[in-house]
Amino acid sequence: MTETATMAMPQIHDTILDAIGNTPLVRLNRVNRGVRAQVLAKVEYMNPGGSVKDRIGIAMIEDAERSGRLKPGGTIVEPTSGNTGAGLAIAAAIRGYKTIFVMPDKMSDEKIRYLRALGAKVVITPTAVEPDDPRSYYSVSKRLAEETPNAILAGQYWNQANPEAHYRTTGPEIWRQTAGKIDAFIAGMGTGGTISGTAKFLKEQNPNIQVVGIDPVGSLYTEYFRTGQLGPAFGYKVEGVGEDFLPTTMHFQYVDDVVQVGDKESFVMTRRMVREEGLFVGGSCGMAVAGAMRWLRAQNWDESKTAVILLPDSGVRYISKIFSDDWMRENGFLESEPISQLLDIRP
């Protein structure tokens, strides 16, 4: 484009909400050694609130406005690992709503401070209780929504505006950015909104696209996918992915395979993403990439194939954790096992 043509085209967003989405698709060049297929990363930390969840923040608010559930000056309550809170808080600031977020106590301090900086009230609840315990973050947020005047739950775990936001935005973007040349879509699963909505769109374009969900060791999704049974869940450190119940936003009919990844492998890969690819990503991104590499190695695809991995958020949120050697050592994630063994790389 000539300079004059560029000059003639104003590029002004009415609000920062218009800058959500259209995130870059970036080729991975080093962490994918041993995989011949082309591996691309959808870099969601480029969203204004720093994560993929900006997409559903405004989508859930607009849906609640349309249905009349959310009234002017109302309050939005949500249980969130942090990123959905940021997406909601930014949209709420612009639309004139208040926000209250309920977070489990395992979440990083940076996320809590960030949400408070965005104007939200943040309530911290214990992580190690069952979802139906009155102290759980699900129960506390439900009670707050009931007891606060003019308040609603955004409802990322049941609100179909969550997967629909990905059906409308994430899926079409990936299809356009790859010009339809995509053989696998790989993403971590939290609420399941990202994988369900994106996969639905992609499979409508081409049903042969393989959709792979990555799940942390400790979550019950993997067992459910393999057996249809909801077994016990146990604690893990990676944030934002895996569940101890089955949300209605997780649509397994679009998922072809599930790979389970442990904390240590996730965090080692997170650090490699920064040092080898220059992508300053969060722990669930390392998890998604580690799981993707294991799955892709097993496929043994050649150069003609393309896989897209979605990277949900930024490393900025984990400076005091994954990027702290002390924290990594305290949790046994810095022990000197050979990296090749840890990451299941076959020479």
Tell me the catalytic residues: 53
Give the nearer residue to ligand PMP in terms of CB position, either 190 or 291: 190
Q: Are 153 and 142 in contact (CB under 8 A)?
A: yes
Rounded Cα–Cα distance for residues 321 and 310 (Å):
22
Whole-angstrom Cα distance, residue 80 to residue 263? 20
Q: Which lies closer to ligand PMP via its Cβ, residue 54 or residue 277?
A: 54
**Residue of this chain nearest to ligand PMP (CB atom):** 240
The least CB distance from residue 105 to ligand PMP, in Å, is: 16
Do residues 310 and 44 touch, judged by C-beta distance below 8 A? yes
Cα atoms found within 13 Å of the Cα of residue 340, Cβ hemisphere only: 5
Closer CB to ligand PMP, 74 or 218, in the complex: 218
| Shortest distance in whole angstroms from residue 189 CB to ligand PMP | 5
| Smallest separation, CB 163 to ligand PMP (Å) | 8
Cα distance between residue 231 and residue 236, in whole Å = 16
Q: Which residues bind ligand PMP (CB under 6 A)?
A: 53, 81, 83, 188-195, 239-241, 282, 284, 312-313
CB nearer to ligand PMP: pick between 190 and 218: 190
Distances (CA, A) of 60 to 86, 291, 322: 13, 30, 30
Q: Smallest distance, Å, CB 231 to ligand PMP?
A: 20
- Give the Cα-Cα-Cα angle 297, 300, 305 (nearest 5 degrees): 105
- Residues 51, 312: Cα–Cα separation, whole Å: 6
Beta bridge partners of residue 212, listed in sequence order:
186, 257
**How far is the first Cα of the chain from the last one, in angstroms, to the nearest whole number?**
46
- Which amino acid makes up residue 131? P
CB of 312 to ligand PMP, least distance (A): 4
Residue 156 burial (10 A CB sphere; 0-12, 13-18, 19+): buried
In the complex, minimum distance from the CB of residue 344 to ligand PMP, in angstroms, rounded to a whole number: 22
Q: In 49-175, which ranges are E strands? A: 75-79, 98-104, 121-125, 151-153
> Is the CB of 74 or the CB of 213 nearer to ligand PMP?
213
Report the alpha-carbon distance of residue 123 to residue 100 in Å, rounded. 7
Closest CB to ligand PMP among 167 and 301?
167
